[in-house]
Structure 1
């Protein structure tokens, strides 16, 4: 399944998510044609159970989709829809067709089928039809709720440094589309953890594309009669770039594979730290090698570096995840350290 996903999504995004499309989205344009093509291909429902109309794909298979979303700087909530429909299926709810996102930062109360509260930093919130979030179910416990964006009483629009919408939605006694209690094994932080997972793969994809662009430019740009890539200092920087990119890709892929049955807190935390650190270092190298052209609007480099700068801090910074990894290691002690590194899942662990 993974090979089929990879070949199909690569062809689709290579044709539909060019620099012009990405720049248009930063100007407020919703890429309806590209979204329709993604939906028609069935990718937004890939993680949903077959019994509910999905492909029942595991996270190991979904990695290539999330990575491609980063590689092509897809200006749409493709990764967000993967996570949202996976969680809906895990809760026994029908997957949502149409544009879909989620809110990891939610302060909601659910009572008698109605929700009040606020959703913050909703990716593409102003554009999507449906948003999922975790609500406090009238003191009973956390529940997953499905909300129509049209039910929002107000929207406070905001953008991240990449020009991607990260909006705040306000609800007051809004009727929910659907809801269900979170099953055992899923904490109220599941969307925060899942968000870190998908961002790690997107960063890995963006780094891969950025490395290709930087290596190609270093081979074409001549200085003192030869390509700048022939100079030892540039070669050393490109080697560091390649090492960091490989580390981010391996860590992200490992997190997806180890989360196939249940989200693996430790693997996801490691992947997010690795991806965030690589994003910082590699963006710096890319701009140093390219010089002034890397900052121009016409050249695609800045589309990727701005997304790396934005994504590295979403759903937890490297510092925050590193602190939590340290706390987890200290908690299990010396005898528990090796099992922590090699286990399949840290059940119930949350950020």
Structure 2
């Protein structure tokens, strides 16, 4: 497992380093960097890593896919790699072959509902769907009379209103107006919208953790180079204190996100223990994004806000990822309700088991 993961991560990071250098991307105003990057990722089989070989994918396990997403966060990639991975995973749950090309998932908000009509068409609206306009297909969790269903829909059939998140990446509103899916299968037991939100939330947590790791590196390097009052600002106690706080937030996010990913990879079902891990990770990573981004920009001062500097590529995406697949406030309420429903006597055994 460890050797396979090392190979997968090394391949991903090599592609990211060669074709997704943040400074190079920062100067590419036309987005010409995306095509060669996506081609290289596709040739390596990374976007469909979670899809079995007989369904058109690479057939790697969940741990490897989560490792790819974590690595992508360290480069703050503005391409639908995590979304395509999630879509492939969802399609595999329904036994649907994954098509080539970029994909995304819907809904991306726990309060949105896509309905499977009696005639097999889909209706509803999904807000904040990442990269919907850039994707060729959408993997959907729909709710029908007989329970949840998993469907594959071509984006050409959908009405998509373009939107942007805080980082300027696509976050679109997708309307399903009696759309006929390319394929539709009943979802297996335990797979529903909440399951998709948990998977998406852990993916975003890993991306946030990766971005915070890079924010820390950038900030430490800058503090060692920037001179004020005839010495590097990293020598000042106040700056050292802030960098230590940033390191703490980065470490907390990484620990929470990787623990949740490991819990999902090892679990046989999305039970209460997995729910606790995934939800806690999303909440903690979102908090770390807020605190970490503020500290990094404080260390850099005004230069961190300029378009020429790469800092904002990481800080803004870390902040934007907080809201995808449920905000921390939504999950805090859901976690409280789940714990309350179990009863006071079950709280400590649940927490201690992790």
Fold in common (TM above 0.5): yes
What is the match of residue 209 of structure 2?
Answer: 204
Partner of 2:41: 38
Of 285, 293, 305, which residue of structure 1 is paired with 2:303? 293
Is contact 2:91-2:151 (8 Å) kept?
no
- Matched with 2:315 is 305
C-alpha deviation, 1:82, in angstroms:
1.1
Between Structure 1 and Structure 2, how many residues are aligned?
342
- In 2: Cα distance, 1:257 partner to 1:28 partner: 34
| Aligned counterparts of 1:30 and 1:216: Cα–Cα separation in 2 | 26
Name stretches of at least 5 consecutive residues in structure 2 with no aligned partner: none
Cα deviation, residue 26, structure 1: 7.7
Change (3 A) 1:180 1:30: farther
CA distance in 2, matches of 1:125, 1:25: 22
Structure 1 counterpart of 2:135 = 128
Q: Where does the alignment leave 5 or more consecutive residues of structure 1 unmatched?
A: 345-351
State which of 264, 267, 275 in structure 1 corresponds to 2:285: 275
1:148 paired residue among 148, 154, 159: 154
Native 8 Å contact 2:123 2:177 kept in 1: yes
Cα shift at 1:309: 1.5
Asked if structure 2 preserves the Cα contact closer than 8 Å seen for 1:17 and 1:73, the reply is: no
The alpha-carbon deviation at position 28 of structure 1 amounts to: 6.9
Which 4+ runs in 1 deviate beyond 4 A? 20-30
What is the SS of the residue equivalent to 2:140?
Answer: strand
Matches within 5 A, 1:90-101: 90-101=93-104
Q: Return the offset for 1:115.
A: 2.3
How far apart, CA to CA, are the structure 2 residues paired with 1:123 and 1:25? 21
Cα pair 1:124 1:166 within 8 Å, conserved: yes
In the alignment, what sits opposite 1:172? 177
- How much has 1:25 moved relative to structure 2? 8.3
Could you say what secondary structure the match of 1:218 adopts? helix
Partner SS state of residue 161, structure 1: coil
Aligned match of 2:67: 64
Distance 1:119 1:26, change over 3 A: farther
Change (3 A) 1:81 1:21: farther
> C-alpha distance in 2, partners of 1:117/1:337?
37
Residue by residue over 1:34-92, the C-alpha shift from the partner in whole angstroms, topping out at 9 and shown as x without a partner, is 11111111011111124324343333222221112211111111011111111111221
CA shift at 1:207, angstroms?
0.3
Note if contact 1:162-1:307 (Cα within 8 Å) is conserved in structure 2: yes
- The answer for the alignment partner of 2:165 in structure 1 is 160
1:107 aligns with 2:114: yes
Distance in 2 between residues matched to 1:251 and 1:192, nearest whole Å: 17
Q: Give me the whole-angstrom Cα distance separating, in 1, the residues matched to 2:148 and 2:243.
A: 47
Shift of 1:29: 6.5
Paired residues of 1:106 and 1:133 also in contact (CA < 8 A)? no
Structure 1 counterpart of 2:325: 315
Q: TM-score, normalised to structure 2's length? A: 0.90
Distance, in Å, in 1 between the alignment partners of 2:24 and 2:292 is 24
Determine the C-alpha separation between the residues in 2 that align with 1:282 and 1:335: 36
Please state how far the C-alpha of 1:165 moved relative to its aligned partner: 0.5
> Is 1:18 equivalent to 2:28 in the alignment?
no
Kindly state the Cα deviation for residue 205 of structure 1 after the two structures are TM-superposed.
0.4
| Residue matched to 1:347 | none
Alpha-carbon deviations, 1:270-319, whole Å to 9, x = none? 11111011101111110111001000000000111111111112222222
Q: Does 1:229 align with 2:234?
A: yes
CA distance in 2, matches of 1:293, 1:8: 33
